[in-house]
Structure formats: structure tokens, C-alpha cells
């Protein structure tokens, strides 16, 4: 079994001291280790953002995609070699802003991918503009009078798109987050883990203290994540009480299971030595 340290690279994280990304990074390495995965079994895809900078700090196969395009790249990798454990990482701007259309389609396809969103409710890397999950009234340099729009609800949105695994973690609860990541990675199908991640530099509203007063664990209330309507109702809860844990889980065939081209072996294992593409090359030359 690979130890969590074996997922380190020679580079130390450059995040601000106290950033919630440290906890996500450590929880992920611990989860991979406890799942007995080795660096060679995993392909990670990162977007652009402080979140995406984790690309440099986790020792697996990795691809640093352009802003908002983690899921198309992860989909391509999964279809080429569905034996790899594919995990995509985005920020809230990356995943719920510019990349939102990809999320809806990835969810309804139900590819066996895990999607971790570092949700700090702000654009961190570009030094603090409002994001799609910023609360109404959130004051930033791009919204000096406060954000006008309502925040997006990623859990409700993906539930309505047909998600088969939805969870919310909190970077201030590393043991809980590690367990959620393990469950998400184990899930056969698309799994979303939205992580409440304090950005200690640019979000002075949704701080560790703010969350600690509010978060509660669904499992401690006897909640069962097996009914979409119930999950939808909990996904609306935000304010004085904020639920974390697994909201919804369902077993359904994955996209790979239903794709005839993958029935015998992965695409990378298929012999294409005797395929002649001369005619196609001539036609499109
Ligand atoms: C196509 C494109 N548009 C805009 C940018 C500039 N940009 C880089 S990161 C970013 C947002 C980062 O916010 P988020 O995704 O929430 O990640 P965080 O830094 O908060 O982890 C933006 C707008 C870009 N790199 N590419
Ligand atoms: S700007 Fe925010 S999200 Fe980015 S490293 Fe600093 S604390 Fe973390
Ligand atoms: Mg962000």
C-alpha cells in the first residue's frame, strides 16, 4: 500500500498559510493511500486556479487543463483507458462558472469519474473576484456594491441533472473529508464532492469559524442518502445550519458499461496495427 507521503512531489505547496487547500490535499493523499491505490493507477486532471495548482503537489499521472475544461479532458482519459482511476479537481469558478455546461453533461453520462470542487466562493488565483457560489451581497473588487446575483447551488443542480453520487465536505474536518473522498472514489459512476474550502486571503465571510458554527453531519442525524427528493430538500439548507456528508447515492450503469467499444478491453489495449486509414487521409487531405 502506498503511504500518503508517496503521493508527494518534490514541490511544496505555494498556497497562503491556513488555506483550506492544504486540508483537501492531505485528505486526498490519505484517501488514495487507504484505498490501496498507487500513483500509477491514477490520472488526475486539474483546472486553473489556486485549486488547480495542486497539479504540482500530487504524485500521479496528471494533466493541467485550461480553465473550465477539466471534465472534457477527464472524460477523454477515462474513455481511452477506463482502467485508470480518474479524478478531476476544479475551483468553484472553474467548475461552476466557465465549466458548468461540462458538469451537467458529465453528470447525466455517469462516467466513472470523481470530481472534487474546492469551493471557496471566490476567485482565489486572480486575487479575489466574485464567483458563481459567492453569496448575494458578497463584496469583492469586482462587486464593490455587493454581488447582485443569487449563488448557484451545485448540489441541487447536479441532483436534478441525474447525479448518482453527491457529497459536501468541509476542509476544517479532515477525517470526515478523507472518508467522503474514499466513498466518492469507490462509487461506480460520476461522483461530486463539493468541498467548503476557506480562502483565508480573499473570503473574509465564509471563514473556518463561520463554518464551524454552522456545519453538521448528515449521518449523525440518521440521514439516509437513498432518496433524491430528500437529498434535494437537504441541498436547500444553507444559513444557520449547513449539512455536510453524502446527500445522495444510487447504483446505475456507467457510460463505460454501456459503450460496446469498451466491452472487451480498454481502447489503449486494442490492437489497431492492421487498420488502414489511407482512404480517410486521402479524402480529407
Ligand atoms: C479562459 C480563461 N478565462 C479566465 C482566466 C483567468 N482565471 C484564472 S483562474 C480564474 C478563476 C479562479 O477561481 P476558481 O476557479 O474559483 O479557483 P480558485 O483560485 O479559487 O481555487 C480565472 C477567471 C483563465 N485563466 N482562462
Ligand atoms: S488566495 Fe485563497 S484559495 Fe488561493 S492560496 Fe490563498 S487562501 Fe488559498
Ligand atoms: Mg474559487
Q: Is the CB of 203 under 6 A from ligand 1?
A: no
| Cα-based distances in Å from 5 to 27, 47, 63, 167 | 12, 23, 21, 26
- At 187, is the secondary structure helix, strand, or coil? coil
CATH for 156: 3.40.50.970
272 pLDDT tier (thresholds 50, 70, 90): confident
Atom of ligand 1 minimally distant from the CA of 90: 15
Q: Is the pLDDT of residue 285 over 90?
A: no
Q: Is the pLDDT of residue 76 over 90?
A: yes
| Cα-based distances in Å from 270 to 43, 77, 80, 154, 275 | 20, 15, 10, 38, 11
When divided into structural domains, the chain yields a total of: 1
Q: What pTM does this model have?
A: 0.97
Q: What pLDDT does 99 receive?
A: 98
Measured by CA distance, the residue closest to atom 8 of ligand 2 is 19
Mutate to test the pocket of ligand 2, among 198, 202, 206 (most ligand atoms within 8 A of CB): 202
Burial class (CB in 10 A: 0-12, 13-18, 19+), 216: middle
Starting at the edge strand that comes first in sequence, how are the strands of the sheet with 242-249 ordered?
61-64, 42-46, 85-91, 113-119, 191-196, 165-170, 242-249, 215-217
Provide the domain limits for residue 178.
4-284
Atom of ligand 2 minimally distant from the CA of 14: 5
Residue 138: phi and psi, rounded to 5, are -65, 120
Amino acid at each position: 500500500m502506498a503511504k500518503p507521503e508517496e503521493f508527494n512531489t518534490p514541490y511544496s505547496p505555494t498556497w497562503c498559510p491556513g488555506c483550506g487547500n492544504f486540508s483537501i490535499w492531505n485528505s486526498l493523499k490519505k484517501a488514495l493511500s487507504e484505498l490501496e491505490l498507487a500513483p500509477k493507477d491514477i490520472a488526475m486532471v486539474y483546472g486553473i486556479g489556486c485549486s488547480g495548482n495542486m497539479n504540482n503537489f500530487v504524485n500521479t499521472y496528471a494533466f493541467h487543463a485550461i480553465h473550465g475544461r477539466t471534465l472534457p479532458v477527464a472524460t477523454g482519459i477515462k474513455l481511452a483507458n477506463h482502467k485508470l482511476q480518474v479524478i478531476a479537481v476544479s475551483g468553484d469558478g472553474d467548475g461552476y462558472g466557465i465549466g458548468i455546461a461540462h458538469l451537467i453533461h458529465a453528470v447525466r453520462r455517469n462516467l466513472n469519474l470523481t470530481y472534487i470542487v474546492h469551493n471557496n466562493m471566490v476567485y482565489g488565483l486572480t486575487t479575489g473576484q466574485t464567483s458563481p457560489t459567492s453569496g448575494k451581497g458578497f463584496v469583492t473588487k469586482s462587486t464593490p456594491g455587493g454581488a447582485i446575483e443569487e449563488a448557484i447551488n451545485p448540489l441541487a443542480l447536479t441532483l436534478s441533472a441525474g447525479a448518482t453520487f453527491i457529497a459536501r465536505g468541509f476542509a476544517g474536518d479532515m477525517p470526515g473529508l478523507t472518508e467522503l473522498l474514499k466513498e466518492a472514489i469507490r462509487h461506480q459512476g460520476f461522483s461530486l464532492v463539493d468541498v467548503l474550502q476557506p480562502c483565508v486571503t480573499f473570503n473574509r465571510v465564509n471563514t473556518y469559524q463561520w463554518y464551524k458554527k454552522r456545519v453538521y453531519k448528515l449521518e449523525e442525524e440518521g440521514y439516509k442518502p437513498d432518496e433524491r427528493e430528500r437529498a434535494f430538500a437537504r441541498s436547500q439548507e444553507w444559513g444557520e445550519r449547513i449539512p455536510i456528508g453524502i446527500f445522495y447515492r444510487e447504483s446505475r450503469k456507467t457510460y463505460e458499461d454501456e459503450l460496446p467499444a469498451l466491452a472487451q478491453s480498454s481502447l489503449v489495449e486494442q490492437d489497431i496495427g492492421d487498420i488502414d486509414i489511407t482512404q480517410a487521409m486521402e479524402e480529407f487531405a
